[in-house]
């Protein structure tokens, strides 16, 4: 099981390299929605989560709250791993 701190690091690395412009500073608290995250970013993120953690996140778990920042996303992924 991947630890929550490691999930955070991996997500920040992915978002920084694959999704956001280099001018956007991404840390665990950055508001992703305010920073320009869009629907295609979401599909890419879900595919990343599926490949990296072998997890399929149910649609109803994707909300404004769980996608707010890396902290919330990591908590969601970590909780799913435990199940």
Partner 1 sequence: MLFKKNKRINLNGMDCLLMAFDYHMRKNGFAGNLAQMVLGLPIQIRESEFADRISSLMDQFPIIHAVSKRHFFSRLPCWEINPEQPSAFPRITAYHLEEKTEENPEFKTLRKKLFNLPLQPGKGEQIRFDLVYFNKGGMEIYMTWVHALMDAHGAEYFLSMIGNPDLVKEALISESSRMAASGRVNSGSDNHPKPKTGSADDKWKKAKQSFDHIDEIALNPPVSILSKFPEKAKPLQEYTIISFSQEETKIILDLARKRCGFFNESTYFAASTMRELKQLYQKKGVASNNYVLSLPVNLRKKGTHLPVFSNQSTSLLYSFSSESLEDFDSAVRHFKEQTQRVIKTGLLDANVAVMEISKFLPTWFYIRKVRQAMKGEIASIVMANPGTMYSRLSEFIGTKVDYVRHMPAIIAPPGIGVLFYQFAGRLNITFVYTEGILSPEETNGFQLGIRTHLLNGK
Nearest to 24 by CA among 6, 14, 36: 36
Look at the block and give the residue holding tokens 């778990």. Answer: 61
> Minimum distance from CB of 36 to partner 1 (Å)?
4
Looking at 20, 53, 55, 81, which residue binds partner 1 (CB under 8 A)?
A: 20
Number of Cβ within a 10 Å radius of residue 12:
16
Nearest to 77 by CA among 18, 20, 16, 3: 3
Q: Which two tokens stand for residue 82?
A: 């435990």
The site for partner 1, by CB under 8 A, has a size of: 23
Q: Is 70 in the site for partner 1 (CB under 8 A)?
A: no
Looking at 7, 11, 19, 73, which residue binds partner 1 (CB under 8 A)?
A: 19
Q: Which residues bind partner 1 (CB under 8 A)?
A: 19-24, 35-44, 47, 59-60, 62-64, 67
């Amino acid at each position: 099981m991947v630890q929550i701190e490691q999930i955070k690091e991996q997500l920040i690395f992915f978002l920084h390299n694959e999704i956001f412009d280099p001018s956007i500073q991404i840390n665990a608290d950055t508001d992703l929605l305010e920073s320009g995250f869009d629907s295609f970013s979401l599909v890419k993120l879900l595919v990343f989560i599926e490949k990296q953690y072998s997890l399929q996140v149910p649609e109803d778990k994707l909300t404004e709250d769980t996608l707010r920042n890396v902290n919330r996303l990591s908590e969601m992924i970590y909780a799913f791993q435990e199940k």
